[in-house]
């Protein structure tokens, strides 16, 4: 999985990396400096002491003696001055010699074929050197921790206006026409420019939403009159006893479609008013009342298609809901079940939490299930010329009312829509 740090994490990482570079360079420089000092200063001091020893008059009488922390050896030297085997192979110059737990600095001179070696105990120097390395390491770690802390504090300070702006933009009231602009709350820096850009975008969104709501309201309002005329004409035609059965069936179909369109227009009009913040006086009804009405309406076309309609009401409910929205949701689900089912049955079940509509049709392909509530997503093309807006409308209404809808596969085939109110 790819690591994608947030902006605050990037600030902390930048501080840590910068400190890692600076403190690391300082630590490495300190170690190198210690080695240079050790090689030059100590080698110079040992070289001077060795030169002083070599200026003696004879090998038997010493005008200068090695210091207490020094050992002096040379080729063919007597007793304690004899050259040990571990020093006989050292080249001329400065060296570090380790003997068990002890360590020495060594200076080697070659004079007339004779090898002179002066050793000086460096145990104290090594201890100081180790303490210095520990101090440098601790300082390096503390620097990284302080950098992370400083980066975190700075990230909080820097990201505070950005987080505040994000909360304001996400607030639902920002799409309302009376929502105040965001930019005046911020200074004229990068965050202020971002707030100005959000103000411009939100203004365009408000205008688009307002145009959509006005269009929906106007169209819904203007369609009422011709639909009422169409419904009245169908009623008059159905009262004519001379109408033959085939024509009567067609008129009944027109009347049914007209009633569905009136209901759809009313749903869109009320949804537009609700989303625009207008208080709409919506008729209220229980789930059982709406279900009884729609079952009575759909039983004839469902049974005329050779299907069976099973209606189960497990527990009667007394809760009142928006009748227009509830009728639109349940009616669309029953219409879809009738439309996409050729054999078998359609089952409507009322529960204490909501209802479910199950059919024995062909079902929805698994590839379409995730997007079935999106606009213009349709089932198999051979099942009619619908635009694929029914389930999209159902999803919008459920989101508006706080209801939850989900699609489940039915056994052995078909669909099951569950709505929790």
In a domain, 198, yes or no: no
In a domain, 104, yes or no: yes
Instruction: Name the residue among 338, 333, 366 with its Cα closest to residue 350.
Output: 333
Choose the final residue of a domain: 85, 118, 146: 146
On whether the CB atoms of residues 134 and 150 are closer than 8 A, the answer is no
Question: How many other C-beta atoms are found inside a 10 Å radius of the C-beta of residue 185?
Answer: 14
Q: Which domain holds residue 18?
A: 7-146
Instruction: Name the residue among 306, 315, 322, 397 with its Cα closest to residue 349.
Output: 315
In a domain, 208, yes or no: no
Q: What is the pLDDT along the chain (421 residues), one digit of tens a residue?
A: 567 777 778 888 888 888 888 888 888 888 888 777 777 777 777 888 887 777 764 555 555 567 777 888 878 777 778 888 888 888 888 888 888 778 888 888 888 888 888 888 877 777 777 888 888 888 888 988 888 888 888 888 878 888 888 787 777 677 666 678 888 888 888 788 888 888 888 888 878 777 776 766 666 667 777 878 888 888 888 888 888 888 888 888 888 788 878 777 777 777 766 765 555 567 888 999 999 999 998 898 899 899 999 999 877 678 899 888 898 899 989 988 898 888 889 999 998 889 999 998 877 777 677 777 776 555 554 444 444 567 888 888 888 888 999 888 777 778 889 999 8
By CB neighbour count within 10 A (0-12 exposed, 13-18 middle, 19+ buried), where does 414 fall? Answer: buried
Choose the final residue of a domain: 126, 146, 166: 146
On whether the CB atoms of residues 258 and 230 are closer than 8 A, the answer is yes
Task: Give exposure, 370-400, as e/b (b: 16+ Cβ within 10 Å).
Answer: eebbeeebbbeeeeeeeeeebbbbbbbbbee
Q: Give the pLDDT confidence score for residue 258 in this predicted structure.
A: 82
* Cα 292 to Cα 307: distance, rounded to the nearest angstrom: 18
Q: What is the CATH number of the domain that holds 317?
A: 3.30.565.10
In a domain, 175, yes or no: no
* Cα 2 to Cα 244: distance, rounded to the nearest angstrom: 71
In a domain, 71, yes or no: yes
Query: In Å, how far are 51, 158, 355, 359 from 346, measured between CA atoms?
Result: 112, 59, 13, 4
* Cα 337 to Cα 418: distance, rounded to the nearest angstrom: 13
3-state secondary structure of 349: strand
* Cα 77 to Cα 56: distance, rounded to the nearest angstrom: 14
The size of the chain, in residues, is 421
* Cα 111 to Cα 114: distance, rounded to the nearest angstrom: 5
- Taken in order 353, 359, 363, 368, the sign of the CA dihedral is negative
Number of domains in the chain: 2
Choose the final residue of a domain: 116, 146, 176: 146
């Amino acid at each position: 999985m790819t690591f994608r740090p947030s902006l605050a994490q990037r600030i902390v990482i930048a501080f840590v990396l910068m400190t890692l570079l600076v403190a690391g360079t300082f630590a490495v420089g300190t170690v190198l400096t210690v080695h240079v000092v050790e090689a030059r200063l100590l080698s110079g001091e040992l070289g001077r002491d060795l030169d002083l020893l070599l200026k003696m008059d004879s090998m038997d009488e010493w005008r200068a003696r090695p210091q207490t922390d020094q050992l002096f050896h040379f080729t063919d030297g007597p007793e304690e001055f004899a050259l040990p085997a571990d020093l006989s192979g050292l080249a001329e110059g400065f060296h570090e010699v380790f003997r068990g737990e002890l360590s020495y600095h060594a200076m080697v001179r070659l004079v007339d074929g004779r090898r002179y070696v002066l050793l000086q105990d460096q145990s104290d120097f090594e201890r100081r050197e180790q303490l210095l390395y520990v101090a440098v390491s601790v300082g390096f770690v503390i620097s990284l921790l302080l950098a992370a802390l400083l980066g975190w504090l700075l990230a909080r300070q820097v990201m505070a206006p950005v987080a505040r702006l994000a909360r304001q933009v996400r607030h639902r009231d920002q799409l309302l026409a009376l929502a105040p602009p965001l930019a005046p709350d911020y200074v004229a820096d990068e965050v202020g420019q971002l707030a100005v850009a959000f103000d411009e975008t939100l203004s365009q969104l408000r205008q688009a939403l307002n145009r959509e709501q006005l269009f929906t309201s106007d169209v819904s309002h203007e369609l009422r009159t011709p639909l009422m005329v169409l419904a009245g004409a169908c009623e008059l035609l159905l009262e004519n006893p001379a109408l033959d059965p085939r024509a009567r069936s067609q008129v009944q179909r027109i009347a049914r479609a007209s009633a569905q369109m009136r209901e759809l227009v009313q749903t869109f009009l009320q949804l537009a008013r609700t989303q625009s913040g207008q208080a709409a006086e919506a008729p209220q009804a229980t789930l059982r009342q709406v279900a009884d009405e729609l079952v009575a309406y759909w039983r004839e076309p469902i049974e005329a298609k050779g299907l069976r309609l099973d209606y189960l009401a497990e527990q009667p409910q007394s809760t009142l809901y928006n009748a227009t929205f509830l009728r639109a949701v349940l009616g669309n689900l029953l219409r879809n079940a009738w439309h996409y089912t050729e054999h078998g049955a359609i089952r409507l079940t009322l529960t204490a939490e909501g209802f479910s509509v199950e059919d024995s049709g062909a079902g929805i392909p698994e590839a379409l299930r995730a997007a079935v509530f999106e606009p213009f997503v349709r089932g198999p093309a051979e099942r009619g010329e619908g635009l694929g807006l029914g389930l999209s409308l159902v999803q919008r209404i459920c989101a508006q009312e706080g209801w939850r809808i989900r699609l489940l596969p039915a056994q052995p085939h078909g669909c099951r829509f569950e709505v929790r109110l």
